[in-house]
Amino acid sequence: MTKYSSRYASSPEAVKKYDTQQLREEFLIDDLMQEDEIVLVYSHYDRYIAGSAVPVKGDLALETIDPLKAPYFLERRELGIINVGGSGSVVVEGTTYELGFKDALYIGAGNKEVVFKSDDSNNPAKFYLNSAPAHTTYPTKKVSLAEANKLQLGTMETANHRTVNQMIIGSVVTTCQLQMGMTELKPGSVWNTMPAHVHDRRMEVYFYLDIPQDQAVCHFMGQPQETRHIWMNNHQAVISPPWSIHSGSGTSNYTFIWGMAGENLDYGDMDVCKITDLR
């Protein structure tokens, strides 16, 4: 079964006036990882889709949704997948790709058959999905966490010591515009993406995981001079408009998956915001 919803674009001026509930309704995705369902959120920021697939009682096939006006989901799209649950597999046009915990898979446009499977229903795979429009087809490729391009950033002194695992990105996988990766914070560090930045050329979605029980992450968004925040729990995602910062601080260390699409594929194309200038 597939469930989907749409989120429309909001201007910076409008977001300044949002209360907590409206901010959460517009940007927070809090219904992911439902058993035996594919859940999708179609954002009007760069036509990006974020979602999940959790096969328990049986396999789940990726089906098209009405906003795409396409006979199958990947007719004009590419797809990135990262497994954040038990071991499982994804079948793409008859070829099976085994995905362990935190392994990734890129699927190019034009593939009609995509089926999600779990190895053990008592410990099901939990597939986190990101999709963006694609103008051509590139080969499907699995990227394990060990194969990711790893960047060591931040310091313990500034509480942002972290490993950035670039997984679905130009130096590892050829894509049209989709990029995905996973950032793991070291014990004792709580800040992600600090100093914060914006990139008007791309939108982004964050998905938080490895948040310990009874802990949370405060995600910061908005224009640098007009920030807002959303408190987030494990396995929730948040949409970041191109004009918004996207940063967070947790009550413990945690992991998050970042995914983005837009004007270019330059990971370093960002406008850094000086910490002391944030408001």
Stretch 160-174: mean pLDDT, rounded? 96
219 is in an annotated binding site: no
- Is pLDDT at 266 greater than 90 in this prediction? no
φ, ψ of residue 68 in degrees (nearest 5) = -80, -25
- Among the residue ranges 76-80, 180-184, 269-273, the one predicted with the least confidence is 269-273
pLDDT at residue 265, as a whole number = 87
Task: Give the chain's mean pLDDT.
Answer: 97
pLDDT at residue 117, as a whole number = 98
Cis peptide before 242 (omega within 30 of 0): no
pLDDT at residue 180, as a whole number = 98
Residues facing 15 on adjacent strands: none
pLDDT at residue 1, as a whole number = 80
DSSP letter, residue 64: -
**pLDDT digit string, tens, across residues 103-139:** 999 999 999 999 999 999 999 999 999 999 999 999 9
CA–CA dist 187, 183 (Å, integer)? 13
229 is in an annotated binding site: no
**pLDDT digit string, tens, across residues 191-205:** 999 999 999 999 999
Contacts 24+ apart (CB under 8 A), 146-154: 147/172, 148/104, 148/172, 148/181, 148/182, 154/189, 154/191, 154/194
pLDDT at residue 109, as a whole number = 98
Stretch 210-238: mean pLDDT, rounded? 97
Distances (CA, A) of 28 to 20, 22, 101, 238, 271: 11, 10, 24, 5, 24
Nearest 5 degrees, angle CA 36-CA 133-CA 58? 15
DSSP letter, residue 15: H
Q: What percent of the chain has pLDDT over 90?
A: 96
Stretch 249-273: mean pLDDT, rounded? 94
246 is in an annotated binding site: yes
Q: Given the DSSP bridges, would you call strands 255-262 and 179-185 parallel, antiparallel or unpaired?
A: antiparallel
pLDDT at residue 223, as a whole number = 97
197 is in an annotated binding site: yes
Backbone region of residue 180 per phi and psi (left: phi > 0; alpha: psi in -120 to 50; beta: other values): beta
- Is pLDDT at 268 greater than 90 in this prediction? no
- Among the residue ranges 51-65, 181-195, 262-276, the one predicted with the least confidence is 262-276
Q: Which two tokens stand for residue 160?
A: 């942002």
